[in-house]
Structure 1
């Protein structure tokens, strides 16, 4: 949090304020649209972002004073600019795409495809805006680079792969990120979302959910399809389990609490005349509250085991956590520093952020350094399109959200997300940050322990 004596709550527009510096900058940003379109046309799956990383490194050649390190935890990249005494501020942008076939109809739509982890060729798309995140961070770097006379401190631009797989931040940290960059005093990130183009949303506290993904294998007894009495049918067991799981949120979670337990896939059987001996169900669970998450995970185990017992299964179900992320919980102190400058820069388009039910691995990075952080979002839907859908009561129907084949940012919002990144970084550079009583890790190299990584990052293990 900020140290006593900062006046961030009294942010005003002046030539030396963050909003004034950005508004008055003569930095050339004319290249941004072309760079964005390149990224948009070449989306790559998590862990396979070779072309994207190469292009980022190429763009960073235009920043000779920044110390660039690539291939961190895969294709991760950092660029560090030291500009005198002051805080160290890290800004993260992710750059992986999704296995989605684009249906936007624009002339720069992706026609790219890649082999997925199963060896299948799939269409790929930047359906979550990571192309804009990356372009905007490059744009913010350009502003900061040109306006060095107006700030002092250190800026770390971090380009992260594999966010969609929830492993990119963890891999960069475990690959020695803390030895490569100076310890940040504060970490920042932004994410584009469906919303009126140009609106900037921010809030303190939990703004994105934790994510717990569980694969459950149910064991039965196989038999000929004509002899169900000789089997313990795992298909029927899976069906009863799916229905019973729906009662956890509706009957065990208090009405004022948020929880999602979604059965996202069910797999069983290969032939129409064989009762299989097992079935698999996959759950995606989201929470803002860690205590409630633990309670619901316990309830899931209880329900699944009870259903297996009721079906007469000879073997207990197996539970495997294939993804676990903590909630994104914005620091009040960082919010108090940044929000007034968003208000100054964006006026009535600086809006309180409503909690978003998606999940992010960004917080793995600041947690590994023991520093505060903040993530905000930016609306990218053309305003006329949004207003028309809102007037007709068809927002959920007519407005493509993240991960939808029709998700496409209004190009004008590239400037908004670039300005937001630059303003937030400058706001943090102009503030004083309390140092921890002791370095979180010895020798000033904040490399997290296995326990710290497991607490916030991907985990694969049995529940028990």
Structure 2
């Protein structure tokens, strides 16, 4: 028989009571009031940060200025900050007693494209992209994500009396090229720092500002990149019989590869093959030696993914064979898997969103056709994970588009521009509430 003294028995009883005490539900209304109060004081600084980031975008793995800016913000808040994780990534940790570890991710990078929004703080930045100068723009919303990320950190640090556990805020490079998450993981993200129990990320979308959208289960698509070099034999444009024309081979491939989608794939399952770039030749009367095409494969099902990849390779080889051309160089790179939201965490967080945002908390019925390497963190063990969206456009503009007016620019459009207020506020409110719902008591 185990004998214990009165003091030990009391401590054991207290421990058992603490273990058995159910987690207290988050007082959403009170928490949201505190978040808004804190935001009212810090919002001018957050807006200035947003405009600065928007005006100074950087491409993947080149985000040195952006990373330094965010690292400085987090140090001021009291986080322990490590820079250069996975290249330009930032990891900021703060511990506030015992409890779970919660990851909150943002992205640092922008896109190689010219901005045409006309905003007073629009980007005019140019940078090297594949050896050529290119304009750079935050045309996917990562500027909003970063501002919301910093705002969430500010809110949580101002409410340390309301939560216990560890915050792990990460700023990831190169999301647009779906390489940044893997780079951070390969650099020991979950070995050098606490492995998260929960993970959250948000993304802007072409919806009304103030809306928060969520979906349990599969959310984004699998993605694989296509890079094929078709080889020929150069010659004079007037004598194609003395050459092998890789432009014709590439053109035939671009048209015929769509038969993989229309004929090989189950028509009830989504799947897309898009060729977005073709480079080759120097003049209209010269048949070049080679032509390079680049594209993307998107889908939501592993079997569809395998079938599309195999079909692209088959059509590329067949197009070359029909012209008597050499075997093409085919590179279909592993991109990223679908983001899959854990149903239990989605339901738990959605209940908070509905209470906080009312009819602006909207369950999604469809998939997101784009892809996200946030899925890499779940694959590395963050199984309790939720990725949600927030809207960016004035509600009147959204309604006008629904009534047949000008369509809303989608992510990656040169005209894609958020309304900072209330978009950033909504991002901070939603993310802070999601974290408090895990760590709060």
TM score, norm. by length of structure 2: 0.89
Report SS of the residue matched to 1:398. coil
User: Deviation digits for residues 119-148 of structure 1, max 9, x if unmatched?
Assistant: x33222211111111111111111111111
Does residue 263 (structure 1) correspond to residue 275 (structure 2)? The answer is yes
Of structures 1 and 2, the larger Rg is shown by 2
Instruction: State the partner residue of 2:82.
Output: 69
Distance 1:157 1:306, change over 3 A: same
Confirm or deny: 8 A CA contact 2:224 2:336 kept in the other structure. yes
Instruction: State the partner residue of 1:130.
Output: 142
Confirm or deny: 8 A CA contact 2:199 2:382 kept in the other structure. no
Residue of structure 2 aligned with 1:375, choices 387, 391, 395: 387
User: Deviation digits for residues 211-262 of structure 1, max 9, x if unmatched?
Assistant: 1111112223333323222233222221211111111112222222110101
Instruction: Output the CA distance in 2 between the equivalents of 1:19 and 1:203.
Output: 23
Instruction: Output the CA distance in 1 between the equivalents of 2:238 and 2:118.
Output: 50
User: Deviation digits for residues 332-356 of structure 1, max 9, x if unmatched?
Assistant: 1221221111111111101012311
Report SS of the residue matched to 2:76. coil
Residue of structure 2 aligned with 1:100, choices 113, 120, 125: 113
User: Deviation digits for residues 139-195 of structure 1, max 9, x if unmatched?
Assistant: 111111111111111111111121112211111111111233211011110001111
Distance 1:226 1:326, change over 3 A: same
Instruction: Output the CA distance in 1 between the equivalents of 2:414 and 2:21.
Output: 45
Instruction: Output the CA distance in 2 between the equivalents of 1:295 and 1:428.
Output: 40
Does residue 416 (structure 1) correspond to residue 434 (structure 2)? The answer is no
Instruction: Output the CA distance in 2 between the equivalents of 1:180 and 1:122.
Output: 36
Residue of structure 2 aligned with 1:199, choices 197, 211, 220: 211
Report SS of the residue matched to 2:279. strand
Does residue 347 (structure 1) correspond to residue 358 (structure 2)? The answer is yes
Report SS of the residue matched to 1:399. coil
**C-alpha displacement at 1:99, in angstroms?**
2.1
**C-alpha displacement at 1:56, in angstroms?**
0.9
Residue of structure 1 aligned with 2:370, choices 358, 380, 388: 358
**C-alpha displacement at 1:6, in angstroms?**
11
Instruction: Output the CA distance in 1 between the equivalents of 2:256 and 2:114.
Output: 34
Instruction: State the partner residue of 2:252.
Output: 240
- The equivalences for 1:180-329 within 5 A come to 180-313=192-325, 315-322=326-333, 324-329=335-340
Residue of structure 1 aligned with 2:57, choices 43, 62, 65: 43
Distance 1:97 1:84, change over 3 A: same
Report SS of the residue matched to 2:269. coil
Residue of structure 2 aligned with 1:53, choices 51, 54, 67: 67
**C-alpha displacement at 1:208, in angstroms?**
0.9
Instruction: State the partner residue of 2:151.
Output: 139
Structure 1 portions without partners, runs of 5+:
432-464
Confirm or deny: 8 A CA contact 2:264 2:307 kept in the other structure. no
Which structure carries more relative contact order (alpha carbon 8 Å, separation 6+)? 1
Report SS of the residue matched to 1:61. helix
Does residue 402 (structure 1) correspond to residue 415 (structure 2)? The answer is no
**C-alpha displacement at 1:430, in angstroms?**
4.9
Report SS of the residue matched to 1:208. coil
Instruction: State the partner residue of 2:98.
Output: 85
Q: How many residues align?
A: 416
Report SS of the residue matched to 1:408. coil
Instruction: Output the CA distance in 2 between the equivalents of 1:307 and 1:136.
Output: 48
Instruction: Output the CA distance in 2 between the equivalents of 1:67 and 1:151.
Output: 18
**C-alpha displacement at 1:207, in angstroms?**
0.9
Instruction: State the partner residue of 1:330.
Output: 341
Instruction: State the partner residue of 2:16.
Output: none
Report SS of the residue matched to 2:90. strand
Confirm or deny: 8 A CA contact 1:178 1:369 kept in the other structure. no
**C-alpha displacement at 1:275, in angstroms?**
2.1
Distance 1:213 1:374, change over 3 A: same
**C-alpha displacement at 1:321, in angstroms?**
2.6
User: Deviation digits for residues 352-391 of structure 1, max 9, x if unmatched?
Assistant: 1231111111111232235332111111111111111211
User: Deviation digits for residues 388-407 of structure 1, max 9, x if unmatched?
Assistant: 12112x4xx53111111221
Instruction: State the partner residue of 2:7.
Output: none
Distance 1:232 1:108, change over 3 A: closer
Instruction: State the partner residue of 1:456.
Output: none
